[in-house]
Amino acid sequence: MSRKSPSSSLRCPRCGTEHPLEERFCSECGFPLVYAGYEKIDPEYTRGDLVRVAGGRNQAEAELIQNLLLEEGIPSIVRRTAGFDVPDYLAGGPRDVLVAESAVRAARQMLLEADLAPQEPSGVDDDKRGLLTTTLIVLGIVAAAMLLVWLLWLALPA
């Protein structure tokens, strides 16, 4: 399949507003712009706020992920990871890849299939189980200390 050459303008995949090539984000809705006439963007994947779905160790790695998402019709944006947003890093430093809320499930599925998905944090159940265990240990220590104080109080001469 031959790819069309880039047009002379950019279009917002969310609201369809045309923009000059110098722009990066839509002035109407703030969504990242794409070349006008790029049919791969699925408008269904442009609704909602931006959500982080992956990250790259540097600009090039993040752009690779971004292009893989674009091949699936999922528009995305790359930005410097918080804490590394110093211009001195140039193309170095970690980057976040963000997609609209409506595209999160499809993007994560595609990244899982490509073995690029970030490690999922431990489940809520594991967190609750850990908190319960810690709470029980603390309560046990407090109960033992109170028992010791009570026994010492009983042993004091009257």
What single letter denotes the amino acid at residue 56? G
CA-closest candidate to residue 10, choices 2, 18, 107? 18
pLDDT band at 3 (very low <50, low <70, confident <90, very high): very low
- pLDDT for 122 equals 47
Clarify whether residues 72 and 52 are in a common domain.
yes
Is residue 73 domain-shared with residue 47, that is, in the same domain? yes
Domain of residue 29 covers 1-39
Beta sheet of 34-35, edge-to-edge order: 18-19, 10-11, 34-35
Amino acid at 77: I
Q: 86 and 63, same structural domain?
A: yes
Alpha carbon distance, N-terminus to C-terminus of the chain: 97
Mean pLDDT taken over the chain: 81
Asked whether residue 57 falls in the same domain as residue 95, the answer is yes
Q: Mark whether 84 and 151 lie in a shared domain.
A: no
User: Per the structure, how many domains does the chain have?
Assistant: 3
Q: Residue 1's pLDDT is what? A: 39
Q: What integer pLDDT is reported at residue 38 of this predicted model? A: 62
Q: CATH code at 71?
A: 3.30.70.1530
**Based on the domain organization, do 25 and 69 belong to the same domain?**
no
Tens digit of each residue's pLDDT (9 = 90 or more) over 101-151: 999 999 999 888 887 765 555 455 555 677 788 889 999 999 999 999 999
Is 45 in the same domain as 12? no
Q: Are residues 21 and 79 in the same domain?
A: no
Verify that 4 and 51 share a domain, yes or no.
no
Q: Quick one: 104 and 127 in the same domain?
A: no
Query: Same structural domain for residues 112 and 136?
Result: no
Which range has the top average pLDDT, 62-71, 79-88, 89-98?
A: 62-71
Q: Are residues 129 and 83 in the same domain?
A: no
